[in-house]
Amino acid sequence: MSMRIHRGWGRYFNFSTVGSFIIALFVIVPLYWMVASSFKTQSNVSASPAQLFPVPVSTSSYTAAFNDGFAHFILNSVIVAVCTTTLVLFLGTLAGYALGRMPMRGKYPIMVTLLMISVFPTIAVVPALYVVMRTIGWLNTYQALIFPYTAFNLPFAIWILRNYFLGISRSMEESARIDGAGALRTLVQVIVPQVTPGIFTAGVFTFTACWTEFLMALSFDFGKKTIPVGIASFGAQFTVPYGAYFAASVLSVIPVAALVLIFRKAVVSGLTAGAVKG
Amino acid sequence: MASTELAPGKVVAPPSRGAPPKILPDLIQRRYARLGWGFAAPALVVIGIVTIAPIVFAIFMSFEHVNVTSSGFSFTGATFSNYHLMVTSGLWQHALWWTVVYTIVTVVVELVIGTIFALVLENLTGGRGLMMALLLIPWSLITVISAELWSYIYNASFGVLDSIWPNALGTPLSATLALMVADVWKTTPFVTIIVLAGLVMIPRELFEASEVDGASSWDIFWRVTLPLLRPTIGLAVLFRALQAFGIFDLPYVLTSGGPGTSTQSLAILAYNTMFTDINFGPGAAVAVSAALLVVMMCLVFLRAFRQQVGKEEVPA
């Protein structure tokens, strides 16, 4: 009985459409606020009551962000993210292949350990890494972030890639071997092309993680700021330059949002296949 | 080289002829195992150097007097004083409880809202791709940016929410709730995607059969949908909770752990002890305590981890 009534109501109001509209608002409203505020004039950013629309439209916040060194932050982030992603994909493909396809004893405990490392709190490695990096003079260098980021993103990349390696058929790799191709050549020419979706997934996740990471960047690279550290350090002691924050935010959201939207299928499959990355 | 004799092509016997000679496959297996270790070694070494070794080293540091020198650090003698200081300090106890409560509350709220969102989206006939794209934006957003955004929204003099929720960051309870709202906004989309993926995998016939049997939507949800979702959701929640336990970015930027030290997580306490108080021994102790709690939780849920590894294992 009650179900019929619900269905009638559902037809009237179209439950899922209204619900989706509410979900969209939930996501969009704060984002709109960020974009709108980035186009307000310096004085209108802190107007009370708040301005709902940026009138007049101003790009002064964008100028302010670049005056605060935003171009350097982008460069630093790009260098760190690109180097890390390249390393992770290279090492992760080799390891994922080995752990997925090779008859190694002990790969099972290794996978369990990797899975646990992927939920490990970053703060646990900060004290020791800081001591080591300060001693060997690595603070404020790119490698101070590239190495830890590689290590922290490898478990998830190996995980994703291994699942793809497990899923492909053995016959092609066997016939390549029969034709006399070595193991490495078989991997590069026959196997890797079949796991490209997995490589995209691992790549997008690694890039996004590097782009957003804050704690290690704050601890090890305060001199070579990446975007999160740069944005957090905008402004002087008592002024909070929200306009510049949001201009920088809009600009730094665009590349990753574009990447994530282009590879949407890969990202969703990564989120659901592993479900291990938060 | 002798090993070329053992190239796999030469021993792949047609299955119809029965099992190939035992000794050759064994040697090949061993050769491939060695090759596998060679392939996996670089990645495993990097992971070991940057994750496992530092944790071991942090444990050592936490039992030492650590002094900062002009060029590096010096360790002057073993001690329990770091842990003594930590356990007796109200700051650590507060940070521990705050982190535990915050983790549990946000994960539960995100799970409930995420499940409702997923149920809504599952019934959506058109535009689901667009909604998925939308949900991915908060997920990919830099947490520092989301923290700045919410600090603007909550701002006590010109924040847009200030008329409804005055002085949101002013008291410990209110600041904690404000952090939770920001967290829920950013992470619920992620949970929605996971739950939706689980929902889509449930065979339609089960719902239809239950409807035919006269079950109400409510009954169907509690007795069919939820039990079938449990494995997917359970694992996602476990991972989400363990990761949330290391929370640093959001409270560090949005409330700076304040007012006072009331919203300090374990990670923020460790960071501030090391980099603000320049007190690396006790800082390492706090970091180790956070790591140990996560390891303990991992061991408690070891079965879940092992199942996750085992379930995709296809017999070769």
B73 falls within a domain: no
pLDDT at residue B294, as a whole number: 92
- pTM listed for this prediction: 0.87
- pLDDT < 50 positions in chain A: 1-5, 275-278
B82 falls within a domain: no
Is residue B157's pLDDT more than 60? yes
pLDDT at residue A145, as a whole number: 95
> Which of A127, A30, A183 has its CA nearest to residue B9?
A183
**Are B23 and B124 members of one domain?**
no
Residues B21-79: pLDDT tens digits?
Answer: 555 677 878 888 888 899 999 999 999 999 999 999 999 888 988 888 777 777 877 78
B71 falls within a domain: no
Interface of A with B in 97-116 (CB under 8 A): 97-99, 101-105, 107-108, 110-112, 114-116
B35 falls within a domain: yes
Question: What count of Cα atoms within 13 Å lies in the side-chain half-sphere of residue B116?
Answer: 10
Contact B118, B202 (CB under 8 A): no
Q: What span, in angstroms and rounded, lies between the C-alpha atoms of B227 and B302?
A: 22
Instruction: Give chain B positions within 8 Å (CB) of A246.
Output: 148-149, 152
pLDDT at residue B95, as a whole number: 95
Is residue B141's pLDDT more than 50? yes
Looking at the structure of chain B, the number of domains it has is 2
Q: Which residue of A has its CA nearest to B113?
A: A23
pLDDT at residue A274, as a whole number: 56
pLDDT at residue A13, as a whole number: 62
Range of the domain at B191: 89-311
Question: What count of Cα atoms within 13 Å lies in the side-chain half-sphere of residue B47?
Answer: 25
**Are B265 and B197 members of one domain?**
yes
The pLDDT-based confidence of B17 (bands split at 50, 70, 90) is very low
Of A105, A125, A212, the CB nearest to B51: A125
**Are B165 and B307 members of one domain?**
yes
B316 falls within a domain: no
Contact A271, B194 (CB under 8 A): yes
**Are B94 and B228 members of one domain?**
yes
Site from B140, B190, B232 to mutate, A interface, most A CB atoms within 10 angstroms:
B140
pLDDT at residue A238, as a whole number: 61
CATH code of the domain containing B205: 1.10.3720.10
Instruction: Give chain B positions within 8 Å (CB) of A179.
Output: 9
Q: What span, in angstroms and rounded, lies between the C-alpha atoms of A195 and A187?
A: 11
Of A46, A47, A155, the CB nearest to B47: A155
**Are B6 and B141 members of one domain?**
no
Judge if ipTM > 0.90. no
Q: Which residue of A has its CA nearest to B276?
A: A219
**Are B50 and B97 members of one domain?**
no
Of A6, A95, A147, the CB nearest to B43: A95
**Are B184 and B261 members of one domain?**
yes
**Are B193 and B280 members of one domain?**
yes
**Are B26 and B117 members of one domain?**
no
Q: Which residue of A has its CA nearest to B138?
A: A27
List the single range of B19-23, B168-172, B206-210, B285-289 with lowest mean pLDDT.
B19-23
**Are B236 and B279 members of one domain?**
yes
Please answer yes or no on whether A119 and B120 come within 8 Å at the CB atom: no
> Which of A270, B145, A119 has its CA nearest to residue B137?
B145
Domain boundary among B44, B62, B80: B62
B78 falls within a domain: no
Residue A148 C-alpha, separation from nearest chain B C-alpha, in angstroms: 6
Instruction: Give chain A positions within 8 Å (CB) of B117.
Output: 19, 23
> Which of B156, B237, B167, B243 has its CA nearest to residue B195?
B237
B79 falls within a domain: no
B153 falls within a domain: yes
**Are B41 and B163 members of one domain?**
no
Q: List the domains of chain A with CATH numbers.
A: 2-61 (no CATH), 69-274 (1.10.3720.10)
pLDDT at residue B104, as a whole number: 94
For the segment B168-181, the average pLDDT, to the nearest whole number, is 93
Of A114, A128, A278, the CB nearest to B240: A278
Q: Is A33's Cβ below 8 Å from some Cβ in B?
A: yes
Please answer yes or no on whether B252 and A214 come within 8 Å at the CB atom: yes
**Are B196 and B276 members of one domain?**
yes
The long-range contacts involving B60-68, CB below 8 angstroms and separated by at least 24 positions, are B61/A127, B61/A128, B61/A131, B61/B280, B61/B281, B61/B284, B62/B281, B62/B284, B62/B285, B62/B287, B62/B288, B64/B281, B65/B281, B66/A131, B66/B280, B66/B281, B66/B284, B68/B278, B68/B280
